[in-house]
């Protein structure tokens, strides 16, 4: 059964040394969820410029509801400079402010979130006052809140992250983010599992997932741990791999899948994206099954 899902946050252009592609973590999540036939809407903002119109056209072409992507008359469409190291791991230079820092609260986007089955949001969009205020307004309307922590120095504040974690029903970290935030909140634990328990206790959130790059992921779901050790893959670039992982995990869990099968499936899709160029390669259900069977 398809779910109605709203993704909130940045839409932008990832600018590589030789080319550029449309991205932004919430948009990448939305596109992967759409590939699983969910009814997905994107709340964001672009500039009133050609790059922004290209994003709107792209969203429409990919079947996303673009009605809630606003046009800012204050700022230009976002661009992020992406640098890949020899292993394909990405680093980002993110300019502030841009169009997605100007997402306005409206009655229509509040109603959209209220009517949805899940609301997915990230931490990067909370860097500026306007979009952050809109996010907190929308969180009041959401029935199931999924928080994708995406630390990009210097665009985050621990007190804001803590408040957002308190709001969330499900939190996703990578391992570096987990350790940084746990330590900032006073944890003295050194293992992933103990720090997940620590965050769970601090935030009253009993559904937490931590990705470990090529080493898989750990899922804490309703008090029980589930593990996947990862799938060996030749990395092309890591852009969007975590986003597709989260989208796939969300799809599986909202569809009532067993948590162990859900994390196995999500790790497979994340690996497949890391083995492809760009954040949004087309991957069919048959591709995923064949990949898992071959490993």
Beta carbons of 196 and 205 less than 8 angstroms apart: no
pLDDT(1) > 70: no
Predicted TM-score (pTM) of this structure: 0.96
Question: What CA dihedral angle connects 196, 202, 205 and 211, to 10 degrees?
Answer: -30
The model's pLDDT over 120-142, given as tens digits with 9 standing for 90+, comes to: 999 999 999 999 999 999 999 99
Report how far residue 166's alpha carbon sits from residue 168's, in angstroms, rounded to the nearest whole number: 6
Mean pLDDT of 254-280: 94
Please count the other Cβ atoms lying within 10 Å of the Cβ belonging to residue 57: 12
280 pLDDT band, cuts 50/70/90, is confident
Say if residue 294 is exposed, middle or buried (CB neighbours under 10 Å; 0-12, 13-18, 19+).
exposed
Structural domains in the chain, sorted by start: 4-294 (3.40.1190.20)
Running DSSP on this structure, what letter comes out for residue 124?
G
Residue ranges of alpha helices (H) inside 6-157 are: 25-35, 50-61, 107-114, 129-139
Mean pLDDT of 44-52: 98
CA distances to 29, 70, 106 from 73, in Å = 26, 10, 16
Report how far residue 154's alpha carbon sits from residue 150's, in angstroms, rounded to the nearest whole number: 12
The model's pLDDT over 57-83, given as tens digits with 9 standing for 90+, comes to: 999 999 998 899 999 999 999 999 988
């Amino acid at each position: 059964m398809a779910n109605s899902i709203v993704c909130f946050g940045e839409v932008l252009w990832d600018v590589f040394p030789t080319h550029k592609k449309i991205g932004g973590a919430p948009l990448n999540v939305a596109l992967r969820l759409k590939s699983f036939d969910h009814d997905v809407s994107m709340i964001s903002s672009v500039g009133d410029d050609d790059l922004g119109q290209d994003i709107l056209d792209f969203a429409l072409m990919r079947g996303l509801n673009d009605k809630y992507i606003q046009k800012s008359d204050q700022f230009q469409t976002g661009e992020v400079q992406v640098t890949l190291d020899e292993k394909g791991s990405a680093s980002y230079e993110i300019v502030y402010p841009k169009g997605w820092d100007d997402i306005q609260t409206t009655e229509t986007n509040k109603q959209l979130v209220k009517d949805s089955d899940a609301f997915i949001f990230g931490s990067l969009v909370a860097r500026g006052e306007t979009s952050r205020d809109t996010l907190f307004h929308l969180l009041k309307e959401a029935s199931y809140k999924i928080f994708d922590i995406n630390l990009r120095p210097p665009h985050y504040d621990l007190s804001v992250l803590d408040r957002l974690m308190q709001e969330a029903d499900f939190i996703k970290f990578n391992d570096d983010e987990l350790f940084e935030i746990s330590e900032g909140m006073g944890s003295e634990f050194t293992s992933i599992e103990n720090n997940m328990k620590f965050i769970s206790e601090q935030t009253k959130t009993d559904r937490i997932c931590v990705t470990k790059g090529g080493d898989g992921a750990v899922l804490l779901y309703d008090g029980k741990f589930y593990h996947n050790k990862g799938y060996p893959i030749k990395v092309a670039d890591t852009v969007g791999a975590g986003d597709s992982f989260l989208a796939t995990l969300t799809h599986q869990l909202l569809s009532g899948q067993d948590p162990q099968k859900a994390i196995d499936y999500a790790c497979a899709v994340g690996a497949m994206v890391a083995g492809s160029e760009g954040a949004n390669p087309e991957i069919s259900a048959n591709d995923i099954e064949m990949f898992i069977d071959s490993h």
